[in-house]
Amino acid sequence: MSLKNTNKNLKPLIAPLFLLASGFVFGQTTIKDSAKTKEIEEVVVIGYGKVKKSDLTGSVASVSAKELAATPAMNALQALQGRAAGLNIVTAGGAPGAGANVTLRGGASITQGTEPLYIVDGFQLDNALNVINPNDIESVDVLKGASAIAIYGARGSNGIIVIKTKTGKKGRTTVNYNSFMSFDMLSKKLDMISNSEDYVKYQYELAQLSGKTTQWSNVFDNSLGTDTPGFYTGVYGRISNRYATAPALDWQDKMLGGTGTTQNQNVNVSVGNDKTQAYISYNYNKQDGLLANYSETRNSLRANVNSELYKGIRVDFSSMFNSNSTNGGGAYSGMKKILLQPITGGTKFTQDELFNTQTYGDYSGLDSSFDTENPYIETQASQSNRRFRSFVANAGIEFDFLKNFTFRTAGSYNWNNSKSTSFSDENSRAYLTDPVNTGINGSIGNAESFRYQITNTLTFNKTFAEKHKVNVLVGQEAVYQQAESNSMTLIKFPFFNYGLYDIDNATVSNKNVDNSRYAISSYFGRVNYSYDDRYLLTATFRRDGSSKFGSNKKWGNFPSVAAAWRVSQENFWQDSKVNKIVNDFKLRFEYGITGNNDIGNSLYTTNLVLTTYPSDNNATNPAFTTSSTVGNPNLQWEEMKATNIGVDLAFLNNRIKLTSEFYNNDVNKMLLPVGLPVSTGYSTRYENIAVMRNRGMEFTLNTINVKSGAFRWSTDANIGFNKSKVLALDGRDNRPFSVGGSRSGMVTYYAKVGEQLGDMYGYVYQGVYTTDDFIQAANGTLTLKPGVVKPATGTPKPGDMKFAADNDAGDQFTRKLVKIGNGTPDFIGGISNNFSYKGFDLAVFMKFSVGGDIYNATKQSLSPYAMFQNVPTEFGNNYYRLIDPNTGQATTNLARLKELNPDENSRLWSLSNTNTANIAYPSSYYVEDGSYLRIAQLTVGYSLNREFLNKISVTNARIYVTVNNLATITGYSGYDPEVSAASGVAITPGYDTSSYPRSRSYVLGINLTF
């Protein structure tokens, strides 16, 4: 369910809910057993090594395999949402295979990449959270602070997500089988006009005001001539007689009202002895979406082997093959086409014809603005598919020598291949729109890439005089990557064809080929020093050279330093009474410099592009010319100077653990395209000129609320605050970034000096002009009263949209863009409560986001601009009436308009032609509070009695039921407040346009261990 809160400010609501749901209230914690809880020393994976959590000096958030396994999910992206403070994962929508925007602490760029670097088992793996099977993950460590990320130098400023996969265990052979089946249903429907009579009356008023009454009659009134006596005066009576009980087609129910299914099958085997351990896993996952022909199928196979060849000589090998096929392209931008569909065919189409035939040509022929093809036919007529395959092989060998030294050399090879196809037949909109020049059409694209990485490290580890622990790491690394792609668009397939197999009979309208290379060479070192487990020091240095940068700036240096003081290990603390309450207290500080090289491969040079040149009576001779962007040989890294202060606390024998972080990230030398004078022959050049700051706080709370006998209740909660600020641009005080289109909902985001990222700009909506705003002369002429805001152009009428004055005099709207919202949330987080009693377990996971606005471009695209299209009930029941039902025609008499609209001040705009243009404006009317609190997952499980299982040679058996997306408390009127439909979530967050709705799923699962 979606629990809509009409209070648009949810901050007062969610803050106390966070404290209440965390399960911990100071002074009321019940502890039945007073025995000290034995602390198991946690190990955290960091760059090129691992450390005990107690020895950490940097900011790291960890998520265990147990937490990930508790979330039945298609991929690790879904399982990780809300689990780590400061990590923001926002999916583009609910379609199978839909992508996600991942940022950590707000990201570290404006125009370039902001996604974290993924390191899997020591090697870089792009898009790892979407590729790796969650069942294969042992742990996820999110590196956030300067000390933790600086070891990765030029690639670290957006944060690092380190993933360790499962390996074989010593001892008996273990076989695990995990399976679940999910039934997915639409969690919320948008409220559209659903009554045929109301819909046809709305259509009549729109037709009358746009001069298309004849077209209206052709569809809804048996083509009755407008010159027929009584046509206008009797039109409302005819509508009521014909449509009062007429059925209405619910397109949301027809297209999305069924049940999608997801099935997951995973089996893994662990085997090992004292010398060699092996792990192999296979996973199959198939998701059929709510929308026809939208599905995703995943297959993955992983194998890990570790062996000690001789004493002090160890080898390891791991490999993964992944195959992913997505039908429907992994997204759906046509949601508005479902919502805008006519709900009755009137006298022109039966309800069956309205649903089962492509009516686009008929409707668009009557009104050229009509642009919503039949979605049921379109999903069959226009289909797309993407197939992605990847193979990864990692191998390493390490030697222990001279007692305290370990040398490791390791290599990785990563291969990726993708193929995408699309095809639109004679029933598609593309064919109906342009049957001659485009006709039946399709496209084919292929891409292939590979990367290899070689890493050599030497580690020295020794304890001096029992209290001085020293760990020194030095290393060298080389990475090379190459990618190539080709694509072509095909048109004019023959009418009787075999799809893309008939390519020989089609015409190539566009083709493209690309090839890129990238290499980086690195040298790095790190020193960890600990004195008596009280004073901790970490220093790192990395030097990177990259082929992405100009000849003058290929190399960069990235140092960092971190220190920690375990105050609770001091004698004065150990001997004090406070130690009985606060048994662990650590202070941390870190500072470092990291870089961002997630940019284009050849921005430092001026590229050549293929064109044509007329010569020798041939107008299409191939030729080369320089691109419009001139290269910059001084191009260099985007650089981040990061500071982090952390406090780690543990109370009541480690039953309550609290981690607090404060960070300040100053990002310098950010890349922006800068305009050049026309006289140069070029339009832009990239330069390192922008400066930005990200500042925030993060808190992580882990509590054991009750541990009494067989009953246990624990809570894990996190919350992260982030605020960005643009400090410098390219000499201007702002840079615009427009998103969307005039009919799909368009808004402009500005990066503005002195302001945070995510600012939305448009016009401030102030309702409509009412009869009280005018003076009417004897001849009917309307004049605005003094003091009433004048529109940008022309003379307004009652019912026209009114926008706030933006001129110096404060009396006129001049279309000056002003700030109307900000899409960046004030804070985000998650809360997990876990209960267990004997064989039963219960887990409730909630996540929240507070303060971010959403530009509801879906609502904007549903505003009335064409005949025969439906509109939301919010508008259809409350638009300003201009048509007098007694005459069937428009009235301009103020007294009569007031009678037709008794609640003028609460009305939405009229259906006049003026408003048809006004609704395309970016407006504050479409900006809504995107705050939400979601019960993201509720799981109830039961583990069978072990004594019984032993009799049938089963080690563990658990069955469970999960509900995903159970309920959402939000004031947002769209499908879902957790949305990011625009690419570049750091600069254009909170944009929702026609996004595929997120479903509610009911899951049945089983876990077996043999």
Position 233 pLDDT exceeds 70: yes
- Residue 7: per-residue pLDDT: 45
As a whole number, mean pLDDT of residues 97-119 equals 87
- Residue 407: per-residue pLDDT: 97
Q: Biggest alpha carbon distance in the chain?
A: 109
Average pLDDT across the chain, whole number: 90
DSSP letters for 691-750: EEEEEEEEEEEEEEEEEETTEEEEEEEEEEEEEEEEEE-SSSSEEEEEES-TTT--EEEE
Position 365 pLDDT exceeds 60: yes
Cβ atoms of 224 and 216 closer than 8 Å:
no
List, for residues 716-743, the tens digit of each pLDDT value: 999 999 999 999 998 889 999 998 887 8
- 47 or 204, greater pLDDT: 204
In sequence order, which residues have a C-beta less than 8 Å from that of residue 430 and are 6 or more positions away? 382, 424, 438, 441
List, for residues 409-462, the tens digit of each pLDDT value: 999 999 999 999 999 999 998 998 899 999 999 999 999 999 999 999 999 999
Position 40 pLDDT exceeds 80: no
Helix axes 235-243, 196-209, angle to 10 degrees: 150
In sequence order, which residues have a C-beta less than 8 Å from that of residue 810 and are 6 or more positions away? none
Cβ atoms of 596 and 519 closer than 8 Å:
no
When mean pLDDT is compared across 33-42, 292-301, 379-388, 801-810, the lowest value belongs to 33-42
Q: Which alpha helices (DSSP H) does 210-250 contain, by range? A: 213-220, 235-243
pLDDT band (50, 70, 90) for residue 598: confident
- Residue 984: per-residue pLDDT: 58
pTM of the full predicted structure? 0.91
When mean pLDDT is compared across 270-284, 694-708, 948-962, the lowest value belongs to 948-962
Give residue for tokens 């022909």.
293
- Residue 849: per-residue pLDDT: 96
- Residue 79: per-residue pLDDT: 84
When mean pLDDT is compared across 340-344, 604-608, 789-793, the lowest value belongs to 604-608
Closest CA to 165 of 275, 45, 323: 45
As a whole number, mean pLDDT of residues 586-592 equals 96
As a whole number, mean pLDDT of residues 316-320 equals 96
Q: Which pair of structure tokens corresponds to residue 497?
A: 């064809």
- Residue 11: per-residue pLDDT: 46
When mean pLDDT is compared across 219-233, 303-317, 720-734, 982-996, the lowest value belongs to 982-996
Q: Write the DSSP symbol of residue 763.
A: B
Give residue for tokens 């198991």.
40
Compute the distance between CA of residue 59 and CA of residue 661 in angstroms, rounded to an integer.
8
β-bridge pairing 889-890 and 711-728: unpaired
Compute the distance between CA of residue 569 and CA of residue 563 in angstroms, rounded to an integer.
15
Position 615 pLDDT exceeds 80: no
List, for residues 813-865, the tens digit of each pLDDT value: 999 999 999 999 999 999 999 999 999 999 999 999 999 999 999 999 999 99
pLDDT band (50, 70, 90) for residue 41: low
- 611 or 393, greater pLDDT: 393
List, for residues 152-168, the tens digit of each pLDDT value: 998 989 999 999 999 99
Position 24 pLDDT exceeds 80: no
Cβ atoms of 188 and 997 closer than 8 Å:
yes
Q: Which pair of structure tokens corresponds to residue 768?
A: 């409509």
As a whole number, mean pLDDT of residues 193-220 equals 97
When mean pLDDT is compared across 128-132, 747-751, 981-985, the lowest value belongs to 981-985
- Residue 329: per-residue pLDDT: 63
Position 998 pLDDT exceeds 90: no
pLDDT band (50, 70, 90) for residue 54: confident
Give the Cβ contact number of residue 401 at 10 Å: 11
Full 3-state SS string of 424-476:
ECCCCHHHHHCCCCCCEEEEEEEEEEEEEEEEEEEEEEEEECCCEEEEEEEEE
Range 743-781 burial, b when 16+ CB lie within 10 A, else e: bbbbbbbbbbbebbbbbbbbbbbebbbbbebbebeeeee
Characterise 86 by phi-psi region: left (phi > 0), alpha (psi -120 to 50), beta (else).
Answer: left
Position 83 pLDDT exceeds 50: yes
pLDDT band (50, 70, 90) for residue 36: very low
List, for residues 477-523, the tens digit of each pLDDT value: 999 999 999 999 999 999 877 888 888 899 999 889 888 999 999 99
- Residue 946: per-residue pLDDT: 83
Position 321 pLDDT exceeds 70: yes
Characterise 50 by phi-psi region: left (phi > 0), alpha (psi -120 to 50), beta (else).
Answer: beta
Question: What 3-state DSSP class applies to 578?
Answer: helix
Instruction: Go through the chain and tell me how many residues it has.
Output: 1010
φ, ψ of residue 833 to 5 degrees: the values are -110, 130
As a whole number, mean pLDDT of residues 690-705 equals 95
pLDDT band (50, 70, 90) for residue 948: confident
Q: Which pair of structure tokens corresponds to residue 478?
A: 């080389």
